[in-house]
Amino acid sequence: MPETTGRENDVHYELNVTAEEARRGATRLLSRNGKRLEVNIPAGVASGNVVKLTNALQVTDGRAGDILIDVQVIKAAENRQPGEIIEVTDANFENEVLKSSLPVVVDFWAPWCSPCHMMAPVMSDAALQYEGRFKFGKLNVDENPASAANYKAMSIPMLLIFKNGQVVDRSVGAIPLAQLKNWLDAAA
């Protein structure tokens, strides 16, 4: 949930949810200043809806103010554009990654991680170049603690390659496109 600008006392975050999560509702964890807050996304939300955590800044920052969660509904993998990187969550991990017919590269990242931001354009370039051979996704470790813990994402960015539901290779740290391509070619 990257922080965005807001009113003086309020803080805005953006939260991506899948269409299924938007339809049935979802629960996510928000990490701020070492504190975790549970965010309940009601069933039936749409892109642009805002979920308000009243007086939440008192808990996280020790000051008055609300946290406003701007909800964005993301596309399912079958509706994605060529080279598009899908948002992987605890809720969709099994369907998007473990049951994928293509090998899947999952980038475990967090909005506060500078090397993770360096990987974003590298992953985008690779997703275009390897379209149809690999599926690419990213998983925010702060918003998806179950998957992060299950795959031991202790250092990020961490890239995992899954084939037939199994991890076949792992890379930790930001890497350039040439190194990522060599890694993918070796795993193909």
Evaluate whether 14 touches 1 at the Cβ level (below 8 Å): yes
Concerning whether 113 is annotated as a catalytic residue, the answer is yes
Instruction: Please pick, among 30, 57, 97, 116, the residue that the annotation labels catalytic.
Output: 116
176 classed as catalytic: no
37 - beta bridge partners? 30
The structure tokens listed for 183 are: 């890694």
Q: What's the CA angle centered on 122, arms 116 and 127, to 5 degrees?
A: 115
Q: Which of 113, 141, 174, 184 is catalytic?
A: 113
- Contact 36/53 with Cβ under 8 angstroms? no
Catalytic positions? 113, 116
